[in-house]
Chain A
């Protein structure tokens, strides 16, 4: 039965030892308890004994090597025993563990934790009133303002009996705290029966009354403004207040797009949506007009190389915008697939940071809610956002063969919000003009 010789732990603080000298070589016959090697700990050189008799089959660690305690350093066994498994396990253990370097223990003293600020002994300052803990407790209980009480303790300290006698002498009917609350809530103190000393109305009395009335009229619901909603809210506020927004609206005839999609989706299970097409088209326009695809970052305008389009998704707790990276380099079907995936992940709250970071332009579509048009707030640090409305069947004036006529067309309003620091009217107009062109003459995108 083969056994390991291990690096022994020979002291409380010993983590590792160095192999100094092998006193035996592979193939030697060893007796139980015979010294097989010498190791060095941080203090001294020690012999290591064999745990059993046998042949020293394998030395696993060479002289000079440092090994953590309890790890195997050699194998003792019978002459013809198969020790390959033991060797493999041993090498694994030895290989995996890195030799622990003794880090110099730096005693980092955090100034705040060790050195407590010695508060100026305020009692030495003139005019500061000293009050005993017992008196403080009484004052709180009776609602007495300590400042008005004369201290009779040594050194002018306000003690308990001072609070009690003040209360009795001044015959306060209402405690100041109770008064404050009553005023705020609009209660008539005169109607309340006090339970304090001498029938004084205390804070507790007021609170009891309020608690009772609360039971009867449960009016409002209060939740704290925290978490995701607050974060989104703060960002949007910041965007609105820093970037001067200007808005441009254009009406787009989506009839051709609708037809095109009908044809695409006929044979395809995976339906390509209006939104997918919008992303595709916007990406195309941005690649032609990169002056929209930029950000203002601390006094520098960065024109992004990549076109990453964010698609706004509404969740219960707020808006999240997953981003399609390099939208201009992807085909419509790939875009469609990716958008669907991202929206699913978003709804499942499984988006990773890389999925919603790095956007350069956002599209927000409220068409499914029937909204005709709206103005969106730019998603910082982007320079623009496209708000998309519902496609409505509207009568429109069409020119055909020189003649004007009225037809029912599917019209959709889009509104572009831009950061006027980065994008001026002409740039925004050009963008929308091109977008409208590609949406109404889709075949031009192939040319």
Chain B
């Protein structure tokens, strides 16, 4: 029985980074405010004091520039962790991320190795409005060459981040900004979680719910409520979008015959569209009901809480939507 301890999501991330930096002297972290401040979301607290200026680097506001620099570092022996505060800002660094980092190994015929981890945040709910609340992980999956990791819980975040840092390929690591201050139980000691292995958070026989990031945790809570209505929900957290653990997802859908997906990206060109189409050739004849999903509607996120909250996918909306499938 693994001993558990209680930490915040942010602390879990910080521990992962700390452990990896201690383990390998070529690991460094750079980004805005990671140094003295310890990160805007407290994900690098104490690291600057511990590892020094060269290894914990505060950058100017030059996303494309310092992401490009991290590529140069990765090509010449280092293992940089780059923090870009909001997934919205990835767009400023889109050339370096999608034209350079994702492609350089391929274009060089396998000569280049890019052991780079890019961490960013998704999620709405802080009245940060349209340009600071987006979940743009789906479009980053489109260009081949990146691995994309979306942990749900703090425990998963720590294990998956350590794997990402040890991975010799570029990894986009997606954290949820609303989770940072939440407390969770995580295993003591060092542990890693491999990529391409989905996690069945809750077993059930009536419907398969595939949910990303913290929606997976919300789905479990909704499932517990639905159990009272006699609806037995199976919740799966895919953990990594690239590579996707197709086997686990397909096996579940073959068992239950119904599929519901949840993701906080905009509904159009959502990662759920891709997952359904990816799996469809293998699950079509197993479906007793057309697949449904809960995403952010196709509007920019408004500022006022009165407008924002009704749009964000949450536990209650999951409960209502899934109940409707069974009870009408």
Taking Cβ atoms with an 8 Å cutoff, the residues of A that contact B are 132-137, 153-154, 157, 159-160
Contacts and interface: CB of A to CB of B under 8 A. Distances in A.
28 contacts: A132-B257, A132-B287, A132-B288, A132-B289, A133-B284, A133-B285, A133-B286, A133-B287, A133-B288, A134-B257, A134-B285, A134-B286, A134-B287, A134-B288, A135-B288, A136-B285, A137-B285, A137-B286, A153-B288, A153-B289, A154-B289, A154-B325, A154-B328, A157-B289, A159-B257, A159-B288, A160-B257, A160-B288
A137 B285 CA distance: 7
Nearest to B327: A154
A160 B286 CA distance: 9
Contacts of B285: 133-134, 136-137
Nearest to A158: B288
A254 B288 CA distance: 84
**A133, A157, A159: which has the most chain B beta carbons within 10 Å?**
A133
Interface string B298-328: 0000000000000000000000000001001
Nearest to A162: B288
Contacts of A137: 285-286
Contacts of A135: 288
Q: Interface on chain A toward B: helix, strand, loop, or mixed SS?
A: helix
Nearest to A159: B288
**A132, A135, A136, A160: which has the most chain B beta carbons within 10 Å?**
A132
Nearest to A155: B328
Q: Interface on chain B toward A: helix, strand, loop, or mixed SS?
A: loop
Contacts of A133: 284-288
A72 B235 CA distance: 70
A134 B287 CA distance: 5
Interface in B252-309: 257, 284-289
Contacts of B289: 132, 153-154, 157, 159
A154 B288 CA distance: 11
A196 B72 CA distance: 66
A275 B214 CA distance: 95
Contacts of A153: 288-289
**B286, B287, B288, B325: which has the most chain A beta carbons within 10 Å?**
B288
Contacts of A159: 257, 288-289
A154 B285 CA distance: 18
Contacts of B328: 154
Contacts of B325: 154
Interface in B172-214: none
Interface in B53-92: none
A153 B289 CA distance: 8
Contacts of B287: 132-134
B23 to A, nearest CB: 49
A153 B285 CA distance: 16
Contacts of B284: 133
Nearest to A137: B285
B36 to A, nearest CB: 53
A370 B289 CA distance: 75
A157 B288 CA distance: 9
Given A154-B289, A157-B289, A159-B289, 6 more contacts: A132-B288, A133-B288, A134-B286, A134-B288, A154-B328, A159-B257
Contacts of A157: 289
A135 B284 CA distance: 11
Contacts of B286: 133-134, 137
A100 B316 CA distance: 68
Contacts of A132: 257, 287-289
Nearest to B290: A132
A159 B328 CA distance: 15
A157 B289 CA distance: 9
A135 B325 CA distance: 17
A129 to B, nearest CB: 15
Nearest to B326: A154
A358 to B, nearest CB: 56
A135 B287 CA distance: 8
A261 to B, nearest CB: 76
A144 to B, nearest CB: 15
Nearest to A161: B288
**A134, A135, A136: which has the most chain B beta carbons within 10 Å?**
A134
A153 B286 CA distance: 15
B182 to A, nearest CB: 36
Nearest to A133: B285
A160 B287 CA distance: 9
Nearest to A135: B288
A157 B326 CA distance: 12
Nearest to A136: B285
B192 to A, nearest CB: 38
Contacts of B257: 132, 134, 159-160
A137 B289 CA distance: 13
A133 B325 CA distance: 17
Contacts of A136: 285
A312 B285 CA distance: 58
A142 to B, nearest CB: 15
B328 to A, nearest CB: 5
B267 to A, nearest CB: 22
A152 B288 CA distance: 11
B199 to A, nearest CB: 26
A181 to B, nearest CB: 25
B323 to A, nearest CB: 12
Contacts of A160: 257, 288
B11 to A, nearest CB: 45
B22 to A, nearest CB: 52
A157 B328 CA distance: 12
Which 10 A-B residue pairings sit nearest by Cβ, starting from the closest? Answer: A134-B288, A132-B288, A159-B288, A133-B285, A137-B285, A134-B257, A154-B328, A160-B288, A133-B287, A134-B286
